[in-house]
Amino acid sequence: MARSRKKAAPARSGGARGNKATSRKKAAPAAAEVEVVEESKGLGIDDGIAIITGILILGAFLMTDHFRGTKYGDGLLFKNSYEAPAE
């Protein structure tokens, strides 16, 4: 039979613990320091991304509406800008 690689546990003598009671918890620091950081009052990166995305969506809508108005006479804002091709 193959031998186990585990080391054998030492035998305990007596039922009582010795006077060596050790704590596994480390002592808490005497004075905890807290650093206070104030946020800037300007726009952050999150605000900038939201503003740029809104502008791009509005621009895409206007470009699509302009294309539909000039080429097909359809659209919301550029409906009357359609010119029929000359024959």
Is 39 contained in some domain? no
In a domain, 76, yes or no: yes
pLDDT tens, 34-59? 888 887 788 889 999 999 999 999 99
For residue 51, being part of any structural domain is answered with yes
Query: 31 pLDDT band (50/70/90 cuts)?
Result: confident
pLDDT digits (tens, 9 = 90+) for 10-26: 666 655 555 666 666 66
Predicted TM-score (pTM) above 0.75: no
6 part of a folded domain: no
- The candidate with the shortest Cα–Cα distance to 78, out of 61, 57, 58, is 61
Q: Is residue 19 part of a domain?
A: no
Place of tokens 């969506």: 57
> What residue has token string 């952050």?
44
Range of the domain at 58: 45-81
**CA–CA distance, 38 with 2 (Å, rounded to integer):** 65
SS3 78: coil
Work out the mean pLDDT of the chain and round it to a whole number.
Answer: 78
Structurally, the chain folds into a number of domains equal to 1
